[in-house]
Amino acid sequence: LAEGHSVVIDRYWASTVVYAALRGASIDLRVLQQILLAPTLTVFVDVAEEVRLARLERRGATDADRVTVLQGPALRARYRATLEDPFYATVLEVDNSGPLSDAVHRILDRCRSL
Residuewise pLDDT in 10s, the chain (114 residues): 889 988 888 877 888 888 888 888 877 777 888 898 889 999 999 998 889 888 888 989 888 777 777 788 888 999 999 999 999 989 999 999 999 999 999 999 999 998
Separation CA 91–CA 80 (nearest Å): 10
Q: Closest by alpha carbon to 32, among 84, 74, 85?
A: 85
Q: Are 56 and 69 in contact (CB under 8 A)?
A: yes
**If DSSP codes are grouped into helix, strand and coil, which group holds residue 94?**
strand
Q: Model-level pTM?
A: 0.80
Spatial neighbors of 69 by CB under 8 A, at least 6 apart, are 49, 52, 53, 56
Tell me, what amino acid is at 55?
Answer: R
